[in-house]
Chains A and B, each alone.
Chain A
């Protein structure tokens, strides 16, 4: 027991992917890495082995990764130093690059528990586990594995590193290596280096270890990203847990703790970053501290470029939090979509794409603050009670819509299909308000449809078509949000896909059938309108029952006769052809709509 306790970290490969935020060139590689890495993790679990080998491989790869990441910075940096006049200002701000070229993420890696931005409780949990293990290591044979899950950048590995150093333990980290390229392999073979399969490397890494606490870090993907990945990692965590591993889930970092860390860095770097900006960066990071720090560093590179944006977009974000729906609406109309553009053109901020269902869930659940905020809007104008709503617990709907990149039509359809489930049982008035707004949205959409062909194509996003799309989506969503003033107590609802689509398809199909029938069966000398067919002929024929069948046959004979006489079209033949094409055109139709 004289040995130093050793902790093994098997960092899930996703970690690396997450790290290279801006290294786009990496993406193709990470995919293959992922699958390899996953296998490794499985093996690890099966062997349930504990390592004691200090592992230094992957070091090179780490550097390569950083290089890619740094590229952007260098570019910016060089571009910056070209302009000589700005150098002075940079120095005033305490230029981050003047003293070292180190990334702040590394430079300000937490050294003590206090510096960690992770929630105290979680740190405590991890620490407890490790200490417990150290205390009872000899006797216990199961439960050597701790699984830490959490999004990228919530400080999983940082926590382990800090705690381990506190305990005086050595950390052996397995970093998923980058796979060897073929050219690389050939080069290495020529130069006499022996190739070792990465899997083998990993196996030896695992095998050389014995009874050492192992921490497996699993980076969770946001639900928004591809579902299969999430499934795998969930499965992995589950099976690990079944095998007796304990699990600690890290949540995204809170806004405040990120802010605190950022301010600390600013102090130490002597960067004069306005507090609003820190707020903003912290907000945009979405609980990812690595991202926040990188953004901060990036920001400090060229604050001059950012500053003008600062005021306008910030004023909007602030007003958004407080004001009421109408107020917001008017603001949005006044400022049009430029503000939104600014926010999205910020060089930092995580990719906040939402899936359709996520966004729909937001709209339908209609979560609102419960405090009375009427005081906040009072200075503008007072609203009648029935128009008052509590502020939304989300970004403005337009923003959410932009994030999900949806088209107005499907959004309206989905809302229409699902909204009634979310209304409380008594609230028929609400149902009407919602329905009337949806009806408005439908009208707006159809005008856009007719206008489409007529209006000359105007460039870009100010194309009327585009604007109507935006407006009608906004009307539909805000109508749903506004109208649903008595949401039913939240429980789990499945969001259905619109039945309307199915109905339309069927209807189209029936119409086709009827169109044929119309000519085929009843009156060869004239045709009836669709509505007459549907409302009068078909029901009558149905009622006439078998007689109509006989009748139809007679008619068919007649048509055949007349066909021979005049030598017309072969209806039956045509029928079949049409059956094929009608499906296609129907599909197109749906898409068009």
Chain B
């Protein structure tokens, strides 16, 4: 098991970071009830950990006995019947699912499947009518329509189920959904907190972690705890005993993106654009989300850029990121960004160096 999973705190009491949030949540569910919740925050901040611990707090160890179900749902969509395949993770008390896995058909999941799940209401040991918890991941990736139907579901079945939503950016969740939930912001842990966690893990694993390395891992992790722990483990595999100035390897796709950035800066021509497209395809095939590719690409490009151009380049990146969200095929938009960058950069080179 990876260290990330191995040393994930299982209860709210054991949280190392976000202890305050954990305590608040504990108080919140002390009556065995809670409002709808929306956890949002950057990746690797600990949202999932909090949610899992919260479920355990609410339902006891029963929440940990989960099963995976991969089921094909027949959804009646007006004129035809759709088959939607959806993988869920469920215990007797909760169901966890990723509605956005269904792509543009996510609306049906929210409308039909969640309704289906929300209807069946468990009865707890005391004969009191209980409620079921639905954990929805990546709510911000849901289409607008899906979010609207989600709103209705939340109202209609609020008696029998609680929704716990989890997403990176609450700005991509509609106002209507947000206002029906208790919003819990989970900040990215500070670097000190990350170092503390790394040290904790190091102690448990019986490793001696030099402070320099620890802080470098934390700095490179971009304040993502998960990322930090993963790199920590990678470092451990690559070289032990640790040294102060040991390299912390980046993820392979990140390296690839920075190669792309180099390609772009080297030459600006349709031919080069075509080459870049091929490399971008490579990333997309490996399921790297296009938003992340674009973001990473931008940050790599900015490193190599004269500050004069940064503003404009950022503007276009934002523009095409928005386009990408509205559109369907990400490559069209990423490529448009790359082309725009090339065009700007070439213009700049001509102006500066003639």
Contacts and interface: CB of A to CB of B under 8 A. Distances in A.
B289 A534 contact: yes
Contact of B68 (A434, A443, A522, A569): A569
A551 B339 contact: no
A510 B234 contact: no
A112 B271 CA distance: 57
A534 B1 contact: no
Nearest to B43: A532
Interface of A: 412-413, 416, 420-421, 423-432, 434-436, 438-439, 441-443, 445-447, 449-450, 453-454, 499-500, 503, 506-507, 510-511, 514-515, 519, 522-545, 547, 551, 554-555, 562, 565-566, 568-569, 571, 574, 578, 581, 585, 589, 593
B270 A425 contact: yes
B1 A568 contact: no
A420 B70 contact: no
B59 interface: no
Contact of A503 (B68, B137, B273, B281): B281
A533 B230 CA distance: 12
A446 B270 CA distance: 26
A442 B292 contact: no
A453 B106 CA distance: 13
A290 to B, nearest CB: 46
B323 interface: yes
Interface stretch (B25-33, B77-85, B112-120, B307-315): B77-85
A37 to B, nearest CB: 47
Contact of A527 (B8, B85, B96): B96
B34 interface: no
Contacts of A515: 87, 101
A547 B2 CA distance: 10
Interface stretch (B14-22, B178-186, B207-215, B249-257): B249-257
A54 B8 CA distance: 99
A445 B328 CA distance: 8
A435 B287 contact: no
A543 B234 contact: yes
A453 B332 contact: no
B98 A507 contact: no
A425 B278 CA distance: 18
**Which 5 pairs, one residue from A and one from B, show the smallest C-beta to C-beta distance?**
A568-B67, A435-B336, A446-B328, A432-B339, A442-B327
Interface stretch (B169-177, B188-196, B340-348): B340-348
Contact of A443 (B43, B78, B323): B323
Contacts of B284: 503, 507
A401 to B, nearest CB: 19
Contact of A425 (B43, B52, B269): B269
Contacts of B76: none
Contacts of A435: 332, 335-336, 338-340
B328 A593 contact: yes
Given A450-B145, A547-B237, A529 B274 contact: no
A532 to B, nearest CB: 6
A430 B137 CA distance: 41
B300 interface: no
B269 A428 contact: yes
A482 B268 CA distance: 20
Contacts of A427: 270
B68 A519 contact: yes
A525 B252 CA distance: 27
Interface in B237-293: 237-238, 249, 251-253, 268-271, 273-274, 277-278, 281, 284-289, 292
Contacts of B187: none
Q: Is the interface of A mostly helix, strand, loop or mixed?
A: helix
A428 B270 CA distance: 6
Contacts of B286: 510, 534, 538
B302 interface: no
Interface residues of B, number: 79
Given A453-B107, A534-B286, A569-B67, A543 B270 contact: no
Contacts of B346: 428-429
A436 B341 CA distance: 12
A585 B237 contact: no
A132 to B, nearest CB: 53
A544 B231 CA distance: 10
B56 to A, nearest CB: 9
Contact of A585 (B83, B144, B227, B270): B83
Contacts of A523: 1, 5, 8
A430 B270 CA distance: 9
B251 A443 contact: no
Contacts of A569: 67-70
Q: Which of B89, B253, B328 has the most CB of A within 10 A?
A: B328
A247 B311 CA distance: 66
A458 B144 CA distance: 23
B226 interface: yes
A535 B288 contact: yes
B327 A533 contact: no
A581 B83 CA distance: 11
Given A519-B68, A526-B96, A569-B70, A443 B237 contact: no
Contacts of B270: 420-421, 423-425, 427-428, 430-431
20 contacts: A416-B335, A425-B269, A425-B271, A428-B270, A429-B347, A435-B338, A439-B323, A439-B327, A445-B327, A450-B144, A453-B107, A514-B287, A526-B48, A530-B101, A530-B138, A530-B287, A530-B289, A534-B286, A542-B252, A569-B67
A356 B287 CA distance: 31
A568 B68 contact: yes
Contacts of A447: 326
A98 to B, nearest CB: 55
B285 A545 contact: no
Contacts of B48: 526, 528
A442 B328 contact: yes
A305 B37 CA distance: 70
A447 B143 CA distance: 11
A536 B287 CA distance: 11
Contact of B138 (A446, A529, A544): A529
Given A443-B326, A454-B145, A515-B87, 6 more contacts: A432-B340, A503-B284, A526-B51, A531-B43, A574-B70, A585-B83
